[in-house]
Structure 1
Amino acid sequence: MTDTSDMHDHALEIFDDALAVAQSSTEAFDALCDLTQAVVGAKLFTIMTVDMEAGVARRAYTNDPVNYPTSGTKPVEMDSWFEVVHDRHETFVANTLAEIDAVFPDAELIGQLGCGSVVNLPIIEDGQLVATMNILHEEQYYTPARVAVVKEVLTAPAKRAMAFAEPQQRTA
């Protein structure tokens, strides 16, 4: 398969199969992580859920539990990132460590992990932000073409994985 859309279709089929047999939110997000790595690439992949009533965000999934564990919550910060992702429901992109440092307090760790670019894809349900899918790679990695793939190919699977995971996480 050399055609990009054929590769995406194949990766989506693998995702569909994995989601169909998933028994936990971790397995659903593993499938989404694998899909993301196959179609656009990611060194670090996380899912952050958002509880606006409580004003907190929680890391629900990570492919790097040593550096980014899934424990605890952090307060939702009302900043420029929040305006883009929460208020406008737009994808946030930063392609240098300096841009990341302007909005994320853990930029130093991000850089130590060999990452210098990020895409935060909002996961929207019923018009509300419920989570973000966060993918990171080296500086300048998320070109406009890759960001387009994130939006076009990964939005629906991210919603599906989140819909599967939500009931699992309520009982966890």
Structure 2
Amino acid sequence: MPDLSMTDPAPHLAAVAAAMAAPGQPGAGLQALDQALAATVGHKLFTVLVLNHAAGQKQRYYTNQPEAYPTGGHKPITPSGEYHDTVVVAGRPRFLHDRADIIRAFPDHPLILSLGCEGAVNVPVRWNGETLGGLNLLDAAGRYDEGQTPLLLTFAALAVPAFLHITRNWTETSA
């Protein structure tokens, strides 16, 4: 696994901020976020899950691996479980450190493991005290740890405008 610990996040944060201000939203901003997270924290699989609390639905809105994890399609929000309690209600990242955590947390773990992903972090995107959705990064076991929380939450804060746009214009289409 490459050592990304010395990567200066400042230019990547600036690139995401600039992309969020540019035309072509929310796609341009989410793509920049994907690239910035890949360059700083790292990931093999990156998805964006958006929650529409008013409709009681969630949608995978962005993915860097559309063949394995396509976008679109609404599903009901499940108001229980570790993801919901940690990410949605408490507004904290959920860290999955190894293969056993992946198997325990994801019903689709065979697909996740087949992509070489044995670790994950689900990062809440929050606005005004509410979780709008999450940034989901998956990679090798041990890739993610609690020490990355400040950087991950900073990237999540930069994603707020995209999430607000998506939920305001809720559709079956993706970025």
Query: Considering the TM-score relative to the shorter chain, is it more than 0.5?
Result: yes
Bigger fraction of residues in helix:
1
Is this contact kept in 2: 1:28–1:164, CA < 8 A?
A: no
Q: Aligned equivalents of 2:169 and 2:36: distance in 1?
A: 21
Stretches of structure 1 lacking an aligned partner (at least 5 in a row): none
Superposed structure 1 runs of 4+ greater than 6 Å apart = none
Question: Residue 33 of structure 1 corresponds to which residue in structure 2?
Answer: 34
Deviation at 1:122, TM superposition (A): 0.8
Q: Aligned equivalents of 2:44 and 2:19: distance in 1?
A: 21
Question: Residue 15 of structure 1 corresponds to which residue in structure 2?
Answer: 16
Question: Residue 114 of structure 1 corresponds to which residue in structure 2?
Answer: 116
* Distance verdict in 2 for CA 1:98–1:171, change over 3 Å: closer
| Aligned residues: CA RMSD | 2.3
- Percent of aligned pairs sharing the same letter: 27
**Which amino acid in 2 is paired with 1:30?**
Q
Q: Aligned equivalents of 1:22 and 1:115: distance in 2?
A: 33
**Which amino acid in 1 is paired with 2:52?**
D
Length, aligned pairs only: 168
Stretches of structure 2 lacking an aligned partner (at least 5 in a row): none
Question: Residue 129 of structure 1 corresponds to which residue in structure 2?
Answer: 131
Q: Aligned equivalents of 1:20 and 1:168: distance in 2?
A: 18
Question: Residue 76 of structure 1 corresponds to which residue in structure 2?
Answer: 77
Q: Aligned equivalents of 2:140 and 2:9: distance in 1?
A: 22
Question: Residue 54 of structure 1 corresponds to which residue in structure 2?
Answer: 55
Aligned to 1:27, what secondary structure does the other structure show? helix
Question: Residue 162 of structure 2 corresponds to which residue in structure 1?
Answer: 161
Q: Does 1:146 align with 2:153?
A: no
